[in-house]
Chain A
Amino acid sequence: MADLIQLLTNGLALGSVYALAAIGFVIVYSATGVVNFAAGQFVMLGTFAGVATLVNAGWPLPVGYAGALALMALFGLLFYAVVYLPLGRSPVVTIIIGTVAIGITLQNAALLTFGSWPFRLPSPVEGMMLEVAGAVIPVHAVAVVVATAVLIGLMWLLLNRTALGIAMRAVAQDAKTARLMGLRVNALLAFTWVLAAVLAGIAGLMLGPMWFADVNMGDPIALKAFAATIIGGFGSLPGAIAGGLFVGLAEVLGASYVSSAYKDLIAFGAMILFLLLRPQGVFGERIQDRG
């Protein structure tokens, strides 16, 4: 029982990180139609933005976090201006291949800057433990789950209760008509990329203390976030959350109860089953076209 509580907490914490990465992936996909294959590298950059401000520059925690997220916001804007905008008139496939190229470039840029030696990113609750029913769980894992829940709540408010969020959804659904309604479509798309980068940055900062900060960490995250979106339903935000949590839990529980060598089998097996049997995922598409 104690083991299970511990595993569930760790699984939910890891799942929260995947969920945030998946949300960043989904908001970009629904707004721009671009499947961002660099999404995993976005999370890696988030971790290393933290390494740069907290470890290398040695800034105090709040300043370091704010600095890292500001760097990520800047990166999102840069990605929009340098990658998405110039490729904007090309077919979507070209942009997607472009994100693959940028992903590889980012990974190697990080390798050149930070080296291949892994870093340890501190947590604000470093070393603190919580005892629940005989189980010892790291406070960091609980904090990650809580912070993710709060962020998801804020995202929901943004998208459903603010003029900015409603405009973002309008652009995602029909950019041409959004232009006709006088929306600043380019600014809204730029903001979407910034938001995706910042969410990935938060995921990276939360993941850093759980894993080692390694420049190759982006690929497994991208694959897990991808599996999460397929299981949850491509383009669906609740789907990204449910899928992310499922993948995180499957990974941690699978490693413990099945075999650590096969820990990814459950998540990717589920993804393949979904692709075969229910390609629209758990939550499917809410929007339909009326004939």
Chain B
Amino acid sequence: MLAVEDLTVAYGDIAALHGVSLEVRQGETVALIGANGAGKTTLLQTISGLNAIRGGDIRFAGNSLKRLSCERRVRLGIAQAPEGRRIFPGLTVEENLVVATAAWRRPGGSYADELAFAFDLFPRLKERRRQLGWSLSGGEQQMLAIGRALMARPKLLLLDEPSLGLAPRLAEEVYERVGRIRESGLTILVVEQNTVLALAVADRGYVLETGRVVLAGPAAELKANPRVREAYLGR
């Protein structure tokens, strides 16, 4: 479904990604793990169209995304819950959700099914639907960010560090929901520093170090890999 081919991305003269290749197949959940500054967020932002491609290509369902704007990519079915959640602070919870339906909704069209799905997945959001985004706790904001991405009717869901800044119990709760989204059949690419959580939910994983893929394989294999265990699992 998604194929990143020999991708190079640079900020000015400094390359952030050096020829990264990876693949996400239909229905799969793929984890991209690595330390701070490895280029994980850069890769997700480039898939969504926020960064220019210096070399290589990104293909989605066979078509090159190179010349498509952010908004066209969302229309094709790529939605993202960005790093740091990026909730619209002055919009209510419900407005935050509804705004993301712009990609597919005709004027006056209904979004009741999508909203019901998001509220079913995250009942807390329903309780707080009239509250402003900034007033939510970190965990609630993360759920709102994921719910908002789902409102775009994605075929591919990009999650950027959904556990960032959350207490361990909340991070586990978020990943439990990611597991439920995965079971609904959606294809997911999740970027994460919390290797234990990410590999628990993923089918396959890639390890990114200083802008290069250094390891790839099924999640179970990565979990057992001595290099991963030492560098990212701390044992």
Interface residues of A (CB under 8 A from B): 163, 166-167, 169-170, 173-174, 176-185, 286-290
Please measure, in the bound complex, the distance between the C-alpha atom of A177 and the C-alpha atom of B89, giving whole angstroms.
Answer: 12
Residue contact A173 to B50, C-beta cutoff 8 Å: no
Question: Of the candidates B50, B102, B134, B135, which one forms a contact with A181 in the assembled complex, judged by CB atoms under 8 Å apart?
Answer: B102
User: A-contacting residues of B (Cβ < 8 Å)?
Assistant: 48-50, 70-71, 74-75, 79-80, 82, 86, 88-91, 95, 98-100, 102-103, 105, 107, 132, 134-136, 148, 152
Whether A180 contacts B99 by the Cβ 8 Å rule is no
Q: Is the CB of A183 within 8 A of B98?
A: no
Closest to B136 in A: A290
Given the interface contacts A174-B86, A290-B134, does A183 sit within 8 Å of B80 by beta carbon? no
Cα–Cα distance between A185 and B136 once the two chains are bound (Å):
26
Most buried by B among A167, A178, A182, A288: A182
State whether A177 and B107 are in contact (beta carbons under 8 Å apart), knowing that A166-B91, A169-B91, A170-B99 are contacts in the complex.
no
Q: How far is the CA of A183 from the CA of B99 in the complex (A)?
A: 8
Is A170 touching B88 in the complex (CB atoms < 8 A)? yes
Please state if B50 and A180 are interface contacts (CB–CB under 8 Å). Answer: yes
A288: which B residues are within 8 A, CB to CB?
A: 89, 134
Contacts of A167 in B (CB 8 A): 99, 102
A283 to chain B, nearest CB (A): 13
| A173 touches which of B74, B90, B100, B136 (Cβ 8 Å) | B90
Q: Closest residue to B99 on the A side, CB-wise?
A: A170
Q: Which residues of the other chain, A, contact B105 by a CB distance below 8 angstroms?
A: 163
Nearest chain B residue, comparing its CB with the CB of A285:
B90
Given A167-B102, A182-B102: A173 and B91 interface contact (C-beta under 8 Å): yes
A-B pairs with beta carbons under 8 Å apart, 15 shown = A163-B99, A166-B99, A167-B102, A173-B90, A174-B86, A176-B86, A178-B99, A179-B71, A181-B103, A182-B74, A182-B75, A182-B79, A182-B102, A183-B99, A287-B89
Known: A163-B107, A167-B99, A181-B100. A287 touches B132 (CB 8 A): yes
